[in-house]
Structure 1
Amino acid sequence: MSDLRGKTLFITGASRGIGLAIALRAARDGANIVIAAKSSVANPKLPGTIHSAAEAVEQEGGQALAVRCDIREEDQVRAAVAQAVERFGGIDILVNNASAIWLQGTLETPMKRFDLMNQVNARGTFLCSQACLPHLLKADNPHILTLAPPPNLNPAWWAPHTGYTLAKMGMSFVTLGLAAEFRDRGIAVNALWPRTVIATDALKMIPGVEVSRCRTPEILADAAHVILTAPSRERTGQFLIDDQVLSAAGVHLFGQYAVDPDEELLPDLFLDEALP
């Protein structure tokens, strides 16, 4: 399959950032995009809503369905999936992109924030996958792609922010389990993670991060496109890194993805080769 024309993608957190970039890349193929996110009203501190994302998808040639959905709420997730199936006739691809972050130590982590991260990241990934699976089982080339890192028990990644690491690794372990459970039924379940920090509007709200040393969300969108257009029975249960995926697909000029090609890139979390 060379493109995603006519495929239906259910993307969580697609109102901005990486989720929106993946949506727009698929839209250029003529895909149907379900934008499942909480942002239905414009926020001056964090641009992008489900409605602006839907408009952008349609401008790129795709069909869009904007659904306000908090993936912590089971009823909302199941209702969003039902709307997607009613509108487009099924679901071919689930992209678990929605995620919550809090890069603080244990004493600086309120339990409200801990609960939010684990409800959105690990539980939300499991819930959205569970809700979409009956429809994915009917699809011709079904994929689940989760924005999660390779599982890593190195204490260096746990000590600075145990709560966030636990929540993010929860997404990774859900990927690991679902891939094994549904391997024989033809659903590809993989994870994708960036080599470097990605410049998003949400990132700008984290103090101390130099956006000029980041790559743009388009590198993940292009890598996701490579993964999602491949036959689902050929690759599953893998934890993939964006530039490795693109290199294997013949892309070797990565300067196009840099915010500032002259700056040294900032390595992302959870990759041991990035440790000093």
Structure 2
Amino acid sequence: MSSEQRPLADRTLVVSGGSRGIGLAIALGAAKQGANVVLLAKTAEPHPKLPGTVHTAVADVEAVGAKAVAVVGDVRKEDDVQRAIDTAVQTFGGVDIVINNASAIATEPTEALAAKKFDLMMDINVRGTFLLTKAALPHLRKSANAHVITLAPPLNLNPHWLGAHPVYTVSKYGMTLLSLGWAEEYQDSGIGFSCLWPQTYIATSAVTNLADGDHLASSSRSPEIMADAATQILIGPAKDANGQTYIDADVLAAAGITDLSRYGGGDDPIWDIFVDKKMNDKS
């Protein structure tokens, strides 16, 4: 594919939690369209239960013909986040895209949820999204078509989801509210703030490490569906994405892609949390 056919050529993407899973898939999807990639993640050494490190992720991006750099750091720490943005500017000349991917999940009932897990979800999900976006804003303003995609769900006030795991829900909806707030606060900046959420379970370590992980994974779609949906958003005008909360399958359907069988999950994949199946029968 020539540079003329790569719509993200010479653009720079910074992704948090990009060493594996959906974050890495989105990085690879953008890289295949020409983007430079900066991966911010804590995993510098192999984890006994999780595949890949931030360094193997760089190698994966380079294997598809793109440029990448690893930043070992914690999205909860302001200095680490600033270092990731500084690295993007020093290495590639700017920041055009931010993917707020890093996230923690704990779905225990309220009385069983440890305070440290409460703090972890709030710190990674809400604080991390705030820190990375804030640090990138001065550079995003200079981009011709800047995007910030936050991996958070549409706001669904169905009491079922509000009561299923209130603290996790607050942390993820906090990410969504930040994105919607920024869309309004910076509506004249040319930056497109949007959210992206999977219609179904995605076959990541978060699923496979569960007690029934193998069975769940067989009814989950691959991370590439999120990558393809994100790429569709990123190659479009930022103004069209600003303030939107997308579901991956809906993004692909709008692009004329309705056969999702290549992403796996079987004929009846497991619908993801926060998504009411009856509201998505069209997909």
Length-normalised TM-score, structure 1: 0.96
Q: What do the CA deviations read for 1:182-212 (whole angstroms, capped 9, x no partner)? A: 1111100000011101000222122345111
Q: Does 1:156 align with 2:160?
A: yes
Q: 1: distance between equivalents of 2:255 and 2:165? A: 34
Give yes or no for contact 2:150–2:175 (8 Å, CA) kept in 1. Answer: yes
Q: Work out whether residues 98 and 147 of structure 2, in 8 Å CA contact, stay in contact via their aligned partners in 1.
A: yes
Partner of 2:276: 272
SS in 1 for 2:241: coil
Quote the offset at 1:272 in angstroms.
Answer: 2.6
Correspondence list, 1:205-244, <5 A: 205-209=209-213, 210-244=216-250
> In the alignment, residue 43 of structure 1 is paired with which amino acid?
H
Contact 1:42 1:49 in 2 (8 A): yes
Amino acid at match of 2:237: P
Equivalent position of 1:248 in the other structure: 254
Contact in 2 for aligned 1:105/1:159 (Cα 8 Å)? no
Q: Deviations over 1:140-195 (max 9, x none)?
A: 11000010000122221122211111111111100110111111111000000111
Q: Which residue of 2 is the match for residue 174 of structure 1?
A: 178
Whole-angstrom distance in 1 between the partners of 2:99 and 2:181? 16
**8 Å contact kept, 2:6–2:33:** no
User: Is the 1:192–1:224 Cα contact (8 Å) retained in structure 2?
Assistant: yes
Q: Secondary structure at the match of 1:36?
A: strand
What does residue range 57-206 of structure 1 map to in structure 2 within 5 Å?
57-206=61-210
1:137 Cα deviation after fit: 0.2
Amino acid at match of 2:228: D
RMSD of aligned residue pairs (Cα, Å):
1.4
CA distance in 2, matches of 1:3, 1:269: 32
Which runs of 5 or more structure 2 residues have no equivalent in the other structure? Answer: none
1-side partners of 2:227 and 2:115: how far apart? 33
- CA separation in 1, counterparts of 2:206 and 2:64? 23
One-letter code aligned to 1:194: P
| Cα deviations by residue, 1:53-107 (Å, 9 ceiling, x for unpaired) | 0000000011001001201111111111111111111000000011000111101
Distance 1:135 1:173, change over 3 A: same
Q: TM-score, normalised by structure 2?
A: 0.93
* Matched position secondary structure for 1:67: strand
Q: Quote the offset at 1:274 in angstroms.
A: 5.5
Amino acid across the alignment from 1:58: E
- Counterpart of 1:145 in 2: which secondary structure? strand
d(CA) in 1 for partners of 2:197, 2:240: 19
What is the CA-CA distance between 1:268 and the residue it aligns to?
A: 0.3
Output the CA distance in 2 between the equivalents of 1:43 and 1:8: 28
- 1:234 Cα deviation (Å)? 2.5
Alpha-carbon distance in structure 2 between the residues aligned to 1:240 and 1:41: 34
Partners of 1:86 and 1:203 in 2: CA distance: 36
Deviation at 1:108, TM superposition (A): 1.3
